[in-house]
Homo-oligomer: A and B are copies of this chain.
Amino acid sequence: MKKSICIALASALLGAAALPAAAKGPVVNHAISEAEVLAAQQAWCKALVDISTTATASGPVAAKALAEKVIDAAYGYQMGAVLFKPTLTTAPQTFRTTREGALAYFVGGNPAYPKDTGFALKGWTKCEIANAAVFITGDSANTMGNVAFTDKTGKVTTVDKTWTFVKDDAGKLRIVVHHSSLPFSGN
C-alpha cells in the first residue's frame, strides 16, 4: 500500500505524462568487485589444502579427481589458455598453458612431465594470503603478494604470487594468469 501511495504522489507531482511507475529494473553486473577477488583467493587456498587432505585420507586417485575439478572450476583453461608459471617448474616445461600441464604440476604422475612430483600432495595444512596490492581493470582483477603454505610439520613456505582473474559468463571468477616464484635468495 505504501508503494501505491508513493506512486500516486509521484504521479501528482509529475503530472499526467509522468514516468511510468516502474519498479527498479534488473541490474546485470559483470565487473569484478574486491570482495569477489578476495573470495576467489581464499577458495584457491582452501582447494589446495583440500587436495592435500584428500591425498592423505583417500590416496592419489581421489586427489587427482579433486584436482581436476578444482582446475576446471578455478582456472580458465576452457577459454583457450592460462598463463601459469608454477613455483617449482623448470625449462623447458616452466610454463603450463594447458590444463594437462597444470594437472601434472598439482598431482604429478604424468610421464610427459617427469619432474612433477605433485605440489598439492605435499601435505599442506594451511594456506594464507597477504596481498601487497590489488588492481581491478574492469574486466580483469590482478593481485600480487605473498602466499604462505604450512605443511604437516609446521614448516612454512612463502612464495611471491601474482594472479589475474576474469569473470566468466556464469559470473564466476577464473584464474587466467598465475605467476608464482620463490623469494630471491639475495645471494
Query: Chain A residues in contact with chain B, CB under 8 A?
Result: 14-20, 22, 24-34, 78-85, 87-92, 94-95, 97, 115, 128, 130-146, 148, 150, 154-158, 160, 162, 164, 166-169, 176-177, 179, 181-184, 186
- Cβ contacts under 8 Å, A83 to chain B: 132-135, 142-144, 162
CB neighbours (8 Å) of A184 from chain B are 87-90, 94, 181-182
Pairwise interchain contact A138-B30, C-beta atoms closer than 8 A:
yes
| B177:A145 contact, CB within 8 angstroms | no
**Cα distance A151–B69 in the bound complex, in angstroms:** 45
Q: Which residue of the partner chain B has the closest CB to A157?
A: B17
Q: How far apart are the CA atoms of A53 and B150 in the complex, in Å?
A: 45
Q: Which residues of B contact A182 (CB under 8 A)?
A: 181, 184
A128: chain B residues at CB < 8 Å are 14, 19
Knowing A22-B130, A87-B184, A177-B135, the reply to whether A158 touches B17 (Cβ < 8 A) is: yes
A91 CB to closest chain B CB (Å) equals: 5
Q: Please judge, given known A-B contacts A90-B184, A140-B140, A155-B15, whether A28 and B135 are in contact too, CB under 8 Å.
A: yes
**What are 22 A-to-B residue pairs whose CB atoms are below 8 Å?**
A15-B155, A17-B148, A17-B157, A18-B148, A20-B92, A25-B97, A26-B80, A27-B133, A28-B136, A30-B136, A80-B135, A82-B135, A83-B132, A84-B144, A94-B132, A94-B146, A94-B183, A95-B132, A95-B144, A138-B140, A139-B139, A160-B179
With contacts A31-B32, A95-B132 known, what are 8 further pairs, Cβ within 8 A? Answer: A17-B157, A22-B92, A28-B135, A83-B133, A138-B138, A139-B139, A142-B176, A144-B177
**Roughly how many angstroms separate A167 CA and B79 CA in the complex, as a whole number?**
12
Contacts of A179 in B (CB 8 A): 144, 160, 162, 179, 181
